[in-house]
Structure 1
Amino acid sequence: MTEARIVYAANNGVARITLANPTRKNAITLDMAASIERICDEIERDRSIGVAVLDAEGNYFCSGADTRDLAASSTDAASDEAVRRTSAVYRSFVRIGQLPTPTICSVIGGAVGAGLNLALASDVVLATPDAVLDSGFLARKIHPGGGHLSLVGRSLGPSGTVALAGLGMAMSGAEAARRGLVHACVDADRMDEEIAAMAKHAAADPDLARAIKNSIRLELGPPSVSLASALEIERGVQMWSLGRKGESGWARKPAKPAVETESS
């Protein structure tokens, strides 16, 4: 059996974090969670990286936390060891959400519980139309954890969060895109192409991509800020980018942006 691990690569401004535990539908082990933390630290330090991509081996993104670790924690759920185990997995969501670069997550097949948390901690989620996005906690008779309700709620609001987490109603990728839980639907055979197109500009200009991500975080929060405050947040960074570009830079036409198609 292949050892559960995280595969990491960084090339041409793009960092790729790949869950590699396909025999267990890429369930997150404690070692995998620790690796995600270390990799996020590396991405944060490496200023040549402008965008991070989160994906998985095989045909299923992530089935959640490894049930063997959950079972061990259930033996004495109030113990220091149980809290340590769950907190280790939780920190991987937080570190993905804290990355200074834009993050794109590819969900093929499905994401459940902690796997859905990991996906929703990313900035932009792409899912295959037939992917199943499932809270999963209610069915296992445990309360959601890892900030699940907050991660779901910032896209679906109270009613949608009750439907998904409180009533256990799963969504297809197509429905999740329609409701705004994920950014777009993309067929599995087009996923890499779509991600490459989305990542192109951020990968080519990591400093600017990081500055924009920081401004988005400061302005939109939570909590969000007033328009007047947003102007002040953006002013200095835009002036920095103008000075960096220089007058001669305006003579070159910008590259055409990627345009979303019906399938995406």
Structure 2
Amino acid sequence: MNPKLVLLESDGPIRTIRLNAPERRNALDLDLLGQLAAAIATVKADADARALIVAGAGKAFCAGANLESMFGDVTRPVHELREHLKKVYASFLGLRELTIPTVAAVQGAAVGAGLNIALACDIVIAGPRAAFGPTFAEIGLHPGGGCSFMLTERMGAAHATAALLSGDIIKAEDAVRLGLANLLAEDPEVKATELAARYASRSRQLNADIKRSVRIAATSDLETSLDFESWAQASSVGSEEFGRYLEDFLKN
């Protein structure tokens, strides 16, 4: 029987996906990635899930990939390696397809592909000992797994270029300053749980539409953004949550 390299935990409407190979700092191999993909698919199909936390067991969030397992035979033609890598990327990039809010609780090292898993979440909470490593160039490797896109999305092109060219480890406070992480917290999982509970208390549709609205705004013009916002806001006017707020507002 394969060991449980990824745990899926439930607490009411909150789900937690926990990388569970602390003896190797949650380094990724194909078995772990397969279990991660399955856990993400389970959350996606779970109608009762309202928010997701992604965390790592032990001292590290994820120390990156086991390169031998990740790449296999590196003498294969480039087109074969490319197709293999795209399948690897898909195993964790499913996080970006979830319509519920996702929060990464990063308590230690998040390096290479491990950094990508954190970046694939909507919110990144950094602990004091968090360390973010876009270290691909340091080992002669081009960034992969969406790292170039997701770093640029969070940090802007200038900071993303500098980070990827240097390959340096980015400490927690600098990660927040640069926009790579959203918040610094003494216990990132406690803070992630607090945020997840807040998000989970709201309408699943509202959260999904907010995520979609931001994606549209980031890739389209104002007219396209307004077109979706006007539909989504008009739809939310009839929600129970807004109805309760409006009733209380009119009483005062």
TM over 0.5: yes
Partner of 1:137: 136
Q: How does 1:111-260 map to 2 (within 5 A)?
A: 111-187=110-186, 190-205=187-202, 206-220=204-218, 223-226=219-222, 228-245=223-240, 247-251=243-247
* d(CA) in 1 for partners of 2:46, 2:71: 37
**Alpha-carbon spacing, 1:24–1:84, altered in 2? closer, same or farther (3 Å):** farther
Structure 1 portions without partners, runs of 5+: 254-264
- Aligned residue identity for 1:93: F
Q: Secondary structure at the match of 1:116?
A: helix
* d(CA) in 2 for partners of 1:84, 1:162: 25
Instruction: Tell me the percent identity.
Output: 26
Q: How does 1:10-25 map to 2 (within 5 A)?
A: 10-25=10-25
- Aligned residue identity for 1:203: A
> TM-score, length-normalised on structure 2?
0.87
Q: C-alpha displacement at 1:129, in angstroms?
A: 2.6
Contact 1:13 1:49 in 2 (8 A): yes
Q: Secondary structure at the match of 1:18?
A: strand
Contact 2:6 2:39 in 1 (8 A): no
* d(CA) in 2 for partners of 1:94, 1:249: 36
Q: C-alpha displacement at 1:219, in angstroms?
A: 2.7
Q: C-alpha displacement at 1:108, in angstroms?
A: 1.1
Partner of 1:76: 76
Aligned residues: 246
- Aligned residue identity for 1:109: G
Partner of 2:53: 53
Structure 2 portions without partners, runs of 5+: none
Q: Secondary structure at the match of 1:243?
A: coil
Q: C-alpha displacement at 1:110, in angstroms?
A: 1.2
Q: C-alpha displacement at 1:54, in angstroms?
A: 0.6
**Alpha-carbon spacing, 1:162–1:243, altered in 2? closer, same or farther (3 Å):** closer
* d(CA) in 2 for partners of 1:201, 1:232: 28
Q: C-alpha displacement at 1:251, in angstroms?
A: 3.9
